[in-house]
Amino acid sequence: MTTHKDGGTTLTLGSLEITSRLLLGTGGMTDLDAMDKALVASGAQVATVAMRRYGTGGPDVYGMLTRRGVNVLPNTAGCKTARDAVLTARMAREALGVNRIKLEIIADDHTLLPDTVELLDACELLVADGFEVLAYTNDDPVVARRLMAAGAVAVMPGGAPIGTGLGILNPHNIRLIVREAAAHNIPVIIDAGVGTVSDAAYAMELGCSGVLLASAVTRCRQPAVMAKAMAMAVEAGYLAHRAGRIPRRDHALASSPVTGRAWSQEVL
């Protein structure tokens, strides 16, 4: 990490350093203009785009990101095997000239949960091929540990299944992942399940390095307004974590001193 002028730190993702800790996904986007306004409102410096959208003749998401100076993070969304993900990543590198990839391999179309066996295989293959892998995974600390050992530059556990907006379902495991990742100086980015600002703030309070979200913005009523709110929540949660919250207690603790009162304890 690098100290920033505001006393905070930049977020390092492999060879990329950014100052915004909110990353946006473009999945679910139906209006390019609305996505553009949301991107500006969020201040995000990284946006993910599925490679299957590239060159399809649809909305020019890549062109919009380039005009805004946003770093494109291609992903392997839709892949179900390590073989397909590796092929997709290589196509992304050839087409876009970047060696960063968000590695995403799903087990089935119903849950959209990661296939961690295929994920680990693909991570090892891509790292050996020179890729900087940001791995979307479940909230299993053991899987996260193995992804770190395989060379992932970031682990991205889901707070809840993709698109559900259920928030952080297993904060205990997220804390465990954060603790181990910190020992290796590897960022943890919550990816999937964020529904509103309290979810984003909570992820940062747990010690995550950033939040990646899509549906919470692209599928809400006012995407630009929500994008701004999410940026503020991520910043607030980050500062709160750095400040260090007070411990939870079973009983009340007076904030005013008990000495110097006009009555004595004995009278009571």
192 is in an annotated binding site: yes
Tokens of 224: 């630009």
* Of the candidates 215, 78, 203, 198, the residue with the CA atom closest to the CA atom of residue 139: 203
Cβ(103)–Cβ(122) below 8 Å: yes
Sign of CA dihedral 30, 168, 101, 234: positive
Alpha carbon distance 94, 74 (integer Å): 12
Amino acid at 34: A
Concerning whether 102 is annotated as a catalytic residue, the answer is yes
User: Both ends of the chain: CA-CA distance in Å?
Assistant: 55
Cβ(37)–Cβ(223) below 8 Å: yes
Q: Which of 5, 37, 80, 102 is catalytic?
A: 102
Alpha carbon distance 151, 117 (integer Å): 16
Tokens of 34: 């609305």
Residue found by looking up tokens 């079973």 in the block: 250
233 is in an annotated binding site: no
163 is in an annotated binding site: yes
**107-111 long-range Cβ contacts below 8 angstroms, 24+ apart:** 107/80, 108/80, 111/161
Cβ(118)–Cβ(96) below 8 Å: no
> If you write DSSP's letter for every residue of 108-169 in order, what string do you get?
-TTT--B-HHHHHHHHHHHHHTT-EEEEEE-S-HHHHHHHHHHT-SEEEE-SSSTT-----S
Binding residues are: 163, 192-193, 214-215
Q: Which residues have a catalytic role annotated?
A: 102
Annotated binding-site positions for 1-deoxy-D-xylulose 5-phosphate: 163, 192-193, 214-215
